[in-house]
Amino acid sequence: MFVDSHCHLDRLSNDTHGGDLDAALSAARAAHVTQFLAIAVTLDDLPGLAEMSRRHADVAISAGLHPLASVEEEPSVEAIKEAAERYGAVAIGETGLDYHYRDRVSGEVQHERFKRHLIAATELGLPVVVHTREAREDTLTLLREHTDPDVAGVLHCFTEDIDMAREAIRLGFYVSLSGIVTFASAASLRELARVLPLDRLLIETDSPYLAPVPHRGKPNEPAWVVEVAECIAAERGISVDELAMQTTANFYRLFRAAAPDAPDHVQQALAQAGLV
């Protein structure tokens, strides 16, 4: 059993199963992917994501505004909370800081936006999905100031170093690795994959972006989270089954609101393994 803990199902390429979401999900289920977290990039995405979740019981959704998304008006804490509650989100985000593209959205705007999302997540008791790039100290500072370690969240598509990962874990966060871990140029990330605590690890595709080896250059899809798991398991010297089971259990521990909708066979297997 695998979970794709971060995918943009409303942005899958027309080159992916002819743009047919049902076909893409069916292919993932055939590869034993049992749960998907469809991530919002703007609050305007939520009606479509909520409808997707209504049609597919194994699709949960988040509510948030990406740090690089351009909007006419910044959402307030209350607006973020209202949207999450209205559409049944199990997480807030993705949100965070991306200073690599500070020319698109200023650092000051990103900072305030991120803070509002963190406050909304804490007040709702929902985990936060964090995007961070070239903003290590500011990201950690805001997490220290505005998150509840009993709720926390995940640093998604993590590409930073072990020191940042350890500090995030100390703050209650999980760390998610994407297809980047399979890239030939990502030796340092594979080293990180070997030493991260297994009970704080998640896997994701971030599809339609960052397709793993051997699919690089193609639009990514949720079925390929299996390649991410296989790479990490090989680096750690454990079975793919163990990696899959533990990361699935981690997902449901973090995204507790998604757990009641987990298929019966998933809940039974996790319980039998003593992981939930």
Residue 108, both tokens: 């000051």
Q: What is the pLDDT of residue 276?
A: 58
Q: What is the pLDDT of residue 53?
A: 97
Q: What is the mean pLDDT of each run of 10 residues along the chain (276 residues)?
A: 97 89 97 98 97 97 97 97 98 97 93 98 98 97 96 97 97 98 97 97 98 96 98 98 96 92 71 64
Residue 124, both tokens: 């709702």
Domains of the chain: 2-272 (3.20.20.140)
Q: What share of the chain is helix, strand, coil (3-state, %, to 5)?
A: 50, 15, 35
227 membership: H or E segment, kind and range: helix 225-236
* CB contact set of 267 (below 8 Å; sequence gap of 6+): 259, 276
Under a CB-based contact definition with an 8 Å cutoff, are residues 2 and 247 in contact?
yes
Whole-structure pTM value: 0.95
Q: What is the pLDDT of residue 260?
A: 73
Q: What is the pLDDT of residue 275?
A: 59
Q: What is the pLDDT of residue 221?
A: 97
If phi over 0 gives left and psi between -120 and 50 gives alpha, with beta otherwise, what is residue 146?
A: alpha
